[in-house]
């Protein structure tokens, strides 16, 4: 379906990004992986993806560094002569009360979860406009729509991603390039698993209560969204049925914000 298209997925060495990269690969896209990981793991992932019959490449760009983001886009364009799909997925979390939230933690979360999306979109837009076709997909969060306590930087960043998505969609509306966001509820990945103990401390409850009440308790379906569900949504947004979908927020939250 997406045969020989070139897709960059930021933060794709783990969790949701990796599931997205694999689903795009199984739809025929050549894949650029990015993210933090040991070289052995990267080699394994590259092998798994190229075994699907597509090209797989890894670029180590640090998403908190604008120069590295621009260089990544330039490298991919130089190698392939096109960039069809950009999935802005890299993200980090920090859990602390606002008065205890360090400047460093705020700056890091904003840089990786929000500013990187801007820098990557800015660099890829001239390429996609010139092609007359492109798909920009931003992995925001249900925390782009609603807040949770102790996640000030993350919630601010994800609300910002939704504003940026809509603005870019309008600017590119007549160019053949769409820009959409996905808003998953909780997905059980390292990002969520690593915040359970800090959330328990910040709220003064047990880790089991975090799992049952804070995570699953917010989702009326009583289950996590899966990383593969998000990957399938990305493939849908790249497909023909989504040609006229732009500026949208695809909520995948088990009913979280319906209540
Ligand atoms: P994860 O921790 O499994 O993956 C995060 C990825 O980002 C990893 O590949 C990591 O190496 C990469 N990354 C982190 N810092 C980076 C940096 N400086 N430069 C480049 N890459 C970097 O987490 P995940 O849950 O798969 O999260 C992926 C995205 O999905 C994030 O944007 C997150 O906010 C969003 N999201 C997650 C959930 C959830 O419940 N897990 C829900 C909604 C949205």
How far is Cα of residue 25 from the mean position of the Cα atoms in its chain?
Answer: 16
Please choose from 38, 63, 90, 193 the residue to mutate so as to test ligand 1's pocket, defined by most ligand atoms within 8 A of CB.
90
Question: Within a 10 A sphere around the Cβ of 166, how many other Cβ atoms?
Answer: 16
Query: What is the pLDDT confidence band of residue 239, given thresholds at 50, 70 and 90?
Result: very high
Ligand 1 lined by 66 (C-beta under 6 Å): no
Res. 105: pLDDT tops 80: yes
pLDDT at residue 208, rounded to an integer: 93
Q: Is residue 214 part of a domain?
A: no
Q: For residue 178, which phi and psi values (nearest 5 degrees)?
A: -105, 155
Q: Quote the tokens at residue 157.
A: 């960043």
Tell me, using a 6 A CB cutoff, whether residue 195 lines ligand 1.
Answer: no
- SS3 assignment, position 187: strand
The predicted pLDDT at position 228 comes to 98
The residues, ordered by sequence, that sit 6+ positions from 104 with a Cβ below 8 Å of its Cβ are none
The single residue of 58, 150, 154, 256 carrying the catalytic annotation is: 154
The three state secondary structure string of 76-118 is HHHHHCCCCEEEECCCCCCCCCHHHCCHHHHHHHHHHHHHHHH
CA 75/CA 81 separation, integer angstroms? 10
**pLDDT digit string (tens) for 125-177?**
999 999 999 999 999 999 999 999 999 999 999 999 999 999 999 999 999 99
Output the CA 137–ligand 1 centroid distance in Å.
Answer: 14
* Residue nearest (by alpha carbon) to ligand 1 atom 21: 35
Q: Which ligand 1 atom minimizes the distance to the CA of 227?
A: 26
What pLDDT sits at residue 92? 97
| Percent of the chain whose predicted confidence (pLDDT) is above 90 | 95
Closest ligand 1 atom to Cα of 62: 19
CB 227 within 8 A of CB 187: yes
Model confidence over 175-224: pLDDT tens digits? 999 999 999 999 999 889 988 998 999 999 999 999 999 899 999 999 99
Round to the nearest angstrom and report the end-to-end CA distance of the chain.
37
Q: Confirm whether 236 is domain-assigned.
A: yes
Q: Name residues whose C-beta falls within 8 Å of residue 211's C-beta, 6 or more positions apart in sequence.
A: 196
Mean pLDDT across 74-81: 98
What's the CA-to-centroid distance between 174 and ligand 1, angstroms? 31
User: What pLDDT band is residue 257 in, cutting at 50, 70 and 90?
Assistant: very high
For 220-232, the DSSP string reads TT-SPBPHHHHHH
Q: Whose CA is nearest to atom 36 of ligand 1?
A: 141
| Domains of the chain: total | 1
Domain that holds residue 164: 6-187+226-258
Q: For the segment 57-70, what is each residue's pLDDT rounded down to a tens digit?
A: 999 999 999 999 99
pLDDT at 91: 98
pLDDT at residue 258 is higher than 90: yes
Nearest to 30 by CA among 39, 21, 19: 21
- Let me know if residue 216 belongs to a domain: no
Asked whether residue 104 is assigned to any structural domain, the reply reads yes
Residue at 212 is within a domain: no
Asked whether residue 164 is assigned to any structural domain, the reply reads yes
pLDDT at res. 76: 98
Q: What is the CATH number of the domain that holds 118?
A: 3.40.50.720
Whether 154 is a known active-site residue: answer yes
In a domain, 221, yes or no: no
């Amino acid at each position: 379906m997406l045969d020989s298209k070139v897709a960059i997925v930021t933060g794709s060495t783990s969790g949701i990004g990796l599931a997205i990269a694999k689903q795009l690969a199984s739809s025929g896209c050549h894949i650029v992986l990015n993210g933090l990981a040991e070289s052995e793991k990267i080699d394994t992932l590259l092998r798994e993806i190229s075994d699907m019959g597509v090209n797989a490449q890894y670029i180590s760009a640090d998403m908190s560094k604008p120069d590295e983001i621009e260089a990544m886009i330039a490298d991919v364009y130089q190698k392939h002569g096109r960039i069809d799909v950009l999935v802005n997925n890299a993200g980090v979390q920090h859990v602390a009360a606002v008065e205890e939230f360090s400047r460093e933690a705020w700056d890091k979360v904003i840089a990786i979860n929000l500013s990187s999306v801007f820098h990557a979109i800015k660099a890829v837009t001239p390429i996609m406009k010139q092609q007359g076709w492109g798909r920009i997909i931003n992995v925001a969060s249900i925390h782009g729509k609603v807040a949770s306590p102790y996640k000030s930087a993350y919630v601010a960043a994800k609300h910002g991603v939704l504003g940026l998505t809509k603005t870019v969609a309008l600017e590119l509306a007549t160019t053949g390039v769409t820009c959409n966001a996905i808003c998953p509820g909780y997905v059980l990945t390292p990002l969520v698993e690593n915040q359970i103990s800090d959330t328990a401390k910040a709220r003064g409850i047990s880790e089991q209560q975090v799992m049952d009440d804070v995570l699953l308790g917010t989702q009326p379906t009583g289950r996590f969204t899966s990383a593969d569900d998000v990957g399938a949504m990305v493939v849908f947004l790249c497909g023909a049925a989504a040609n006229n979908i732009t500026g949208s927020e695809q909520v995948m939250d088990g009913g979280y914000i319906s209540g």
